[in-house]
Amino acid sequence: MDRSLYEAAAIDGIKNRWQELWYVTLPAMKPQLMFGAVMQITQSFAVADISINLAGNPSVNYAGATVVTHLLDYGNTRFEMGYASAIATVLFLLMVGTNKLVQKILRRVGE
C-alpha cells in the first residue's frame, strides 16, 4: 500500500497502529475482504462433497449429514421435489442473509 496514505493519516491525527488499521488499511482492503467473505460463505454451505467422501451418503445414523446432503437425499434419491425445493429456498435465503450481514459489517469499517 502507498505510504503516502499513512503519512496523510498521521497528519490528520491518527495516533496509533489500531487507528491506522481501522481508518486506512481496512478501508483500502474492502473490495478484497468482501470478495473473500462472499466466497468463503458460499463454500461453507457447500460442504456436501467432503461429508459424502468421508461418511458416505446416507451416512450411518446420518452422522455426516449436512443441509446440502439432506437436500441431495430428498432431491436425487427420494425424488420429493417439493421438499427439496423448500430446503434449497431456505438455504438460498440463509446464504443471502449471511452475505447481507457481512456487507453491513464491512460497510462500517473505517467509520
Average pLDDT over residues 45-62: 81
Cα separation, 36 vs 33, in Å, equals: 5
Q: Where are the domains of the chain?
A: 31-107
pLDDT digits (tens, 9 = 90+) for 58-82: 778 888 888 888 888 899 888 999 9
Kindly give, in sequence order, each residue whose CB lies less than 8 Å from that of residue 71, ignoring residues fewer than 6 positions away: 84, 87, 88, 91
Task: Tell me the whole-structure pTM to 2 decimals.
Answer: 0.70
First to last CA, the chain: 20
Kindly give, in sequence order, each residue whose CB lies less than 8 Å from that of residue 63, ignoring residues fewer than 6 positions away: 55
pLDDT digits (tens, 9 = 90+) for 2-47: 788 888 888 888 889 998 988 888 888 988 998 998 888 888 877 8
Is the pLDDT at 1 greater than 70, yes or no? no
